Structure 1
Amino acid sequence: MPRPGRPSEPIDLNDSDRTELERLSRARKSAQGIATRAKAVLLSSEGLTDTAVSKQVALSHVSVGKWRKRFIEHGIEGLTDAPRGGPPRRISDDKVAEVLRLTLETTPKNATHWSTRSMAQRAGISNERVSVIWRTFGLQPHRSETFQLSTDPFFVEKVRDVVGLYTSPPANALVLSVDEKSQCQALERSQPILPLMPGVPARQTHDYFRHGTTTLFAALDIKTGQVMAQCRKRHTSKDFLAFLNKIDATVQAELYLHIIVDNYATHKTKAVRDWLVAHPRWHFHFIPTHSSWLNQVERFFAKITLDIIRRGSFSSLPQLRKAILEYIDENNQNPKPFNWTASPEEIFQKINQFCNKLS
């Protein structure tokens, strides 16, 4: 039986303190350290232990106890950092707050984001001081990331369907992740690629000659990791059906085929729908829109791009096709399936957390 810890001193909040703590905890454009401490105090006032609070905020249970004690002794002012030793500060709190406000709430003229120099000129301080402030508060205006949320009305149902095939594939059936990688370019560098040497990376010219493109159709067996592939000139509905016919002729007749596929228009034409009616052992499972991360063959496409296509130099289109198909044959000699671990609930929770950040 675990030994009970020392009981925490209770926190009794008045209306004024509670209102101020709630305001601080909701702050999105101020010091997030104080916002986290305010959340910890609010949770502690509900009777939660330090350990329970630490599981809900980004603090250890020791830190939760520290800020609980500081609040009891000094009130809301106790949630700020104590003064530290060293030479006197040259920049006031108001100036730091101004830099943060400008960084988070404004953009400079004729630019999409602040640089240390443009911010220094605007705030009237050195660019080194701006850099220190940004590092302290984790701000990186020069960086930008992309995101895309699915608006599919059947997002939940489709995620459960596809993840169910990954984690519990049906008996007497083959589950394939299918897609096409279009616009695979046969690029030939204008000069020979210089090999890797000690202290010097491999080098290639930035310019090249184009020798055409090909489309790689691939079907990844999610159980074994083997890949069925075909290179086609285009990626029309006719090309897609040709690839389906190749799969149909390869897979044993007694097996059902469950195909995980995206919402590309080529996959939903009347010709494809008629083909599915004529082949009743085939079942298409469409992933939600804007959710390519849910289709495992996309991970294989990323791998073949990194290993073969991106840094290759191909003097002709047949040479590119040969390199792609040889890579896939080599992969099928010792295939390694991708291990899907995320449950639908974990996926929904991450999306919910991201949406809460956006709001």
Structure 2
Amino acid sequence: MSICAAVAVVLTAAERHRLKKMAYGHKTPHQARQRAAVVLLAARGRGNARIAAETHLHVDTVRTWRGRFAHGGLPALADRKRSGRPARFTPVQVAEAKALACQLPAETGVPLSRWSCPELAAELTARGITDSVSVSTVRRWLLEDAVKPWQYRSWIFIRDPDFRAKAQRVLDLYARMFEGVPLGRDEYVVSSDEKTSVQARCRCHPTLAPGQARAMRVNHEYGRGGALAYLAANDVHQAKVLGRCEPTAGIVPFMNLVTQVMTTEPYASAKRIFWVVDNGSSHRGKRAIDRLASRFPNAIMVHTPVHASWMNQIEIFFSIVQRKVVSPNDCTNLDQVRDRLRAFEDRYKATAQPFQWKFTTTDLDDLLARLDRHTTADRQEISSAAQTT
């Protein structure tokens, strides 16, 4: 009985280089590495039996991939397309499932605040869109279009009629500009606010330090040791923070913070100090501007737009304090809270860098343009609905 000779394999330089990358690449799939190794050994004149012994493959497998490469080259080493199991759900059913996920449950008569994959799977079956569908299938459908109805983001609409002018004024100060003129070296921009209700929480059991394969453990029950307000002012361009603790927030505590900053160099002898504040009750409106100017003539109060405290950079510092100092809190009394906040200020000043503020007036114009398009579309939709009814 005649034995078929092994198919001869001849490689070009480019094919050899590509096959070596496949055979020795750390990120190459295991099957692709085996096939590349078979072809490389075949190109060296090895027989199928010897290749099978070296690669620990069956000789029929070696013969198959050797023959495929000899007739089809590198593309022949890829898996052939398989028909697979016939689709169980039609494209219309998939589209209806995605359309349902993009609707608010309340609008469809379902008493839910938001959809989850199990709820969607049950609703699709209840409505007769599908006979039965698994939760993983629904999740896979939504993943195709990155639809995540279980997530939500809150937002607030712009109500300040002078939003553009006020926002530009603050953004210009962050860029060291005021009314179109660059700030001088003896002019500073200070961002300030208060963090209210910083509590002293004495845990009923001591906090346990983290260990191997164990997170830090904080007892859920605690005794209340009182609360205080933490007021802080941040030099936007020098990353210099000055803060103080007060029993409560208000006009007097805020002016105490202002006095603390304005009597400290280099602010005491500065030409102008711009105080960026939000519209909180302790520094709201024209009265607060006049109060500050009468006390310190070189101080100018600049308000962020209404409901735009995110423009106040001190909020970034407060978020750092919240993560690194306040939460979790295990202090027996307010004195420990005060000491920890003061110590953190010193630690922060030693390594702090100015925040990389990237939101510019150009970004502001783009934001307002997008909001204008949305409001225009909403008005048109409301108008057309009113005409229809």
**Which of 111, 128, 139 is the equivalent residue of 2:147?**
139
Equivalence for 1:163: 171
**In structure 2, distance between residues paired with 1:199 and 1:351:** 48
Shift of the alpha carbon at 1:351?
4.7
Equivalence for 1:105: 103
Shift of the alpha carbon at 1:322?
0.7
- 2:245 alignment partner, SS class: strand
Shift of the alpha carbon at 1:228?
0.9
Comparing 222-231 with 347-356, greater Cα deviation is found at: 347-356
- 2:263 alignment partner, SS class: helix
Distance 1:330 1:86, change over 3 A: same
Equivalent residue letter for 1:210: R
- 1:339 alignment partner, SS class: coil
**Which of 284, 289, 292 is the equivalent residue of 2:301?**
284
When the two chains are superposed, the root-mean-square deviation of aligned CA atoms in Å is: 2.3
Equivalence for 2:261: 247
The answer to whether structure 1 residue 114 and structure 2 residue 115 are counterparts is yes
Shift of the alpha carbon at 1:122?
2.0
**In structure 2, distance between residues paired with 1:313 and 1:351:** 44
Matches within 5 A, 1:275-354: 275-353=292-370
Shift of the alpha carbon at 1:283?
0.3
State percent identity of aligned pairs. Answer: 23
Cα deviation, 1:61-92, whole Å, max 9, x if unaligned, reads: xxxxxxxxxxxxxxxxxxxxxx9943211011
- 2:258 alignment partner, SS class: helix
**In structure 2, distance between residues paired with 1:84 and 1:280:** 80
Equivalence for 1:265: 281
Distance 1:135 1:271, change over 3 A: closer
TM-score (norm 2): 0.66
Say if 2:278 and 2:284, in contact at 8 Å, map to a contact too.
no
Comparing 238-247 with 301-310, greater Cα deviation is found at: 238-247
- 1:164 alignment partner, SS class: helix
Shift of the alpha carbon at 1:109?
2.6
Equivalent residue letter for 1:88: P
Say if 2:201 and 2:222, in contact at 8 Å, map to a contact too.
yes
**Runs of 4+ residues deviating >4 angstroms:** 354-359
Matches within 5 A, 1:98-247: 98-107=96-105, 109-124=110-125, 125-126=132-133, 127-169=135-177, 170-171=183-184, 172-247=186-261
Distance 1:216 1:91, change over 3 A: same
Q: Which runs of 5+ in 1 are unaligned?
A: 1-82
- 2:102 alignment partner, SS class: helix
Say if 1:241 and 1:272, in contact at 8 Å, map to a contact too.
no
Distance 1:340 1:119, change over 3 A: closer
Say if 1:260 and 1:287, in contact at 8 Å, map to a contact too.
yes
Distance 1:316 1:257, change over 3 A: same
Distance 1:119 1:331, change over 3 A: closer
Equivalenced residues, count: 277
**In structure 1, distance between residues paired with 2:364 and 2:112:** 36
Distance 1:148 1:97, change over 3 A: same
Larger radius of gyration: 2
**In structure 2, distance between residues paired with 1:217 and 1:232:** 7
Q: Which runs of 5+ in 2 are unaligned?
A: 1-80, 126-131, 178-182, 378-389
- 2:347 alignment partner, SS class: helix
**Which of 84, 87, 90 is the equivalent residue of 2:88?**
90
- 2:223 alignment partner, SS class: strand
**In structure 2, distance between residues paired with 1:102 and 1:84:** 32
Comparing 191-200 with 230-239, greater Cα deviation is found at: 191-200
**In structure 2, distance between residues paired with 1:334 and 1:115:** 44
Shift of the alpha carbon at 1:235?
0.5
TM-score (norm 1): 0.71
Equivalent residue letter for 1:151: R
The answer to whether structure 1 residue 256 and structure 2 residue 272 are counterparts is yes
Say if 1:120 and 1:130, in contact at 8 Å, map to a contact too.
yes
